[in-house]
Amino acid sequence: NAGVTQTPKFRVLKTGQSMTLLCAQDMNHEYMYWYRQDPGMGLRLIHYSVGEGTTAKGEVPDGYNVSRLKKQNFLLGLESAAPSQTSVYFCASGRGGNEQFFGPGTRLTVL
Amino acid sequence: AQSVAQPEDQVNVAEGNPLTVKCTYSVSGNPYLFWYVQYPNRGLQFLLKYITGDNLVKGSYGFEAEFNKSQTSFHLKKPSALVSDSALYFCAVRPLGTDSWGKLQFGAGTQVVVTP
């Protein structure tokens, strides 16, 4: 089992560019989550999904969109990147109230 | 609104000494409580959780945590710290409720430094 994988691992964007982060899990989990991690702020939930075809906003959703077309994949999109979106992005999956399993992260820099 | 506080940005401890990482929470009802660890340039790894039952929860790598409802705390402990325990530790809470959808509220994290 690969667990939770994220693509890419690193990316540098210019302000205004767009990109998509891909998260894949092979544990057949219903729930998937996207977080961002910034120094001194812990992890903040961006968007989440409770099943294929469903998405919902988390704590900091502005500037991001998501899609869950397949149960195993959860995509995070930035339509017009801003320097404030420089962060480390983590995807996680789980079964509701139980523990979440995290991917290795994507380090994004927006210039 | 729920919140999680980790009052210490960093905890320094000598190898072999007891390690405690503090966490307090504010949430309505009885929450699920979690501890995660993050090693440099890695994702978070689950250590342990409290849902109900015994207030002392045992987890991975020799860690344990004590749930104290009256003090709304869930401190992480290890009797004898190792240099390899040096990492960033996060406390998280999930409030009960039909709309929580497994969402976690994380603390800001506590950096643990264990010196030889």
Q: Are A91 and A34 in contact (CB under 8 A)?
A: yes
pLDDT of residue B98 exceeding 70, the answer is no
- What does the pLDDT read at residue B100? 62
SS3 B111: strand
* Alpha-carbon radius of gyration of chain A: 13
The residue written with tokens 């789980």 in the block is: A94
- Whether the CA torsion B94, A94, A56, A51 is positive or negative: it is negative
Q: How far is A110 from chain B (nearest CA, A)?
A: 19
- What does the pLDDT read at residue A75? 98
For an interface test with B, the pick among A100, A101, A106 (most B C-beta atoms closer than 10 Å) comes out as A100
Is B39 in the A-facing interface, judged by CB distances under 8 Å? no
Please give the average per-residue pLDDT across A77-88, as a whole number.
96
The most confident of A61-65, B25-29, B96-100, by mean pLDDT: A61-65
Confidence of residue A65 (pLDDT cuts 50, 70, 90): very high
Please provide the DSSP assignment of B10-65 as one string.
Answer: EEEEETTS-EEE--EEE-SSPPEEEEEEE-TTS-EEEEEEE-SS-SEEE-GGG-EE
Q: How far is B58 from chain A (nearest CA, A)?
A: 15
The residue written with tokens 């977080």 in the block is: A35
Which stretch of A33-37, A71-75, A97-101 has the lowest confidence by average pLDDT?
A97-101
Confidence of residue B53 (pLDDT cuts 50, 70, 90): confident
Q: Please state the φ and ψ torsions of residue B23, each to the nearest 5 degrees.
A: -150, 130
CB < 8 Å to A105, chain B: 41-43
Q: What is the largest CA-CA distance in chain B?
A: 47
Q: Cα separation of A27 and A2, whole Å?
A: 9
Q: Do B108 and A48 touch (CB under 8 A)?
A: no
For an interface test with B, the pick among A30, A38, A43, A48 (most B C-beta atoms closer than 10 Å) comes out as A43
Query: In this complex, which of B43, B100, B106 lies closest to A105 when CB atoms are compared?
Result: B43
**Chain mean pLDDT for chain B:** 91
Q: Are B95 and B81 in contact (CB under 8 A)?
A: no
Query: In this complex, which of B41, B101, B108 lies closest to A40 when CB atoms are compared?
Result: B108
How many helices (H) and strands (E) chain B has is answered by 0, 12
Q: Are B90 and B74 in contact (CB under 8 A)?
A: no
Q: Cα separation of B103 and A35, whole Å?
A: 11
Residues B36-52 have pLDDT tens digits of: 999 988 889 999 999 88
Residues A32-55 have pLDDT tens digits of: 999 999 988 889 999 999 999 999
- Higher-pLDDT residue of B28 and A86 is A86
- What does the pLDDT read at residue B96? 65
Query: In this complex, which of A42, A95, A102 lies closest to B107 when CB atoms are compared?
Result: A42
- Burial status of residue B53 (CB atoms within 10 A of its CB: 0-12, 13-18, 19 or more): exposed
Please give the average per-residue pLDDT across A74-101, as a whole number.
92
